[in-house]
A and B are shown apart, each in its own frame.
Chain A
Amino acid sequence: MAVEVAIVALIGSGASLIGSGEESKLKVLRRGVSGWALAFFGGEDLAALIQHLFSFEVSAGVCVFFTAYIGAAFLDRVIVLINAISVKGLWGKK
């Protein structure tokens, strides 16, 4: 059910925001929303993929939770990496 997935994704994205109290509100919102969206649209598929690949069943709730929790941090790191690589190019020219 979509409502349950949305609730679990909300729990996961909420947990991923622990410790980000001093960051800007926009950044926190971006991370929360991206984590929630990743989990809502991809969490259950990930559970099915794990079951298919490793032949053991993972609770869909756990999978959706960890997708929201880790996915947001992962996306954040990718954005930071892209920023850092572009800045490295800029600083190299100075």
Chain B
Amino acid sequence: MTILDIYDALLCALAVLVCFKFWKRYVYKPVVWYLDDSESDRMMFRMRMKPKGCYVEEFACPKDMIDEYIKATAFFRRPSCVVVDYMLGSGPSGEDVLTFLRKNGVKCKIVTGYEGPIKGVSAKDIIHKSPHDSYFQEVESWINHATGRA
């Protein structure tokens, strides 16, 4: 390898930087996942949430989500952020999902209608569900911030 190869690499780095900026700005559409076992809550999310320039995918149970996560990882289509309900019926809880996603570098927020104490999840990671606009605005603003579209 000679000094000229370093110039080649620098040119490549420049080209990659330009392509990355262009792709991020004009082509890339972030994917947002919503995991909730309640059909009505998923429907409300679908109707009320309008995150800027994002694809939204919904899941009813964590097992479906993890299957999709494996496929998405293999095809470089991982979600930018995930909104998870805390109470997911039987099986893994929202906390388990949060821990797994955080460990793998995916931004995650818990939403819940449960008013009691929630152990193992920091208060700043929780948004309390309500039928009011403020709840949807808070979730939407977090999604926009997490996907860099704020």
Contact = CB atoms under 8 A, between A and B. Distances in A.
Q: Is B truly associated with A?
A: yes
Contacts of A62: 5, 8-9, 12
B35 to A, nearest CB: 12
A61 B67 CA distance: 39
A51 interface: no
Contacts of B2: 1, 4
Nearest to B61: A91
Interface in A1-52: 1, 4-5, 7-8, 11-12, 14-15, 18-19, 22-24, 27, 44
Nearest to A23: B105
Chain B residues touching A, range: 35 or more
A79 B96 CA distance: 19
- The DSSP consensus for interface residues of chain A is helix
A59 B70 contact: no
Given A23-B105, A88-B67, A91-B63, A61 B8 contact: yes
Nearest to A88: B66
A9 to B, nearest CB: 9
Contact of B12 (A24, A27, A66): A66
B74 interface: yes
A4 B1 contact: yes
Interface string B57-88: 00000110011011001101010000000000
B66 A84 contact: yes
Contact of A87 (B3, B5, B100): B100
B4 interface: yes
B6 interface: yes
Given A18-B20, A61-B4, A84-B104, 14 more contacts: A4-B3, A8-B6, A12-B13, A15-B16, A19-B24, A22-B107, A24-B105, A77-B74, A83-B104, A84-B69, A87-B100, A91-B62, A92-B63, A94-B90
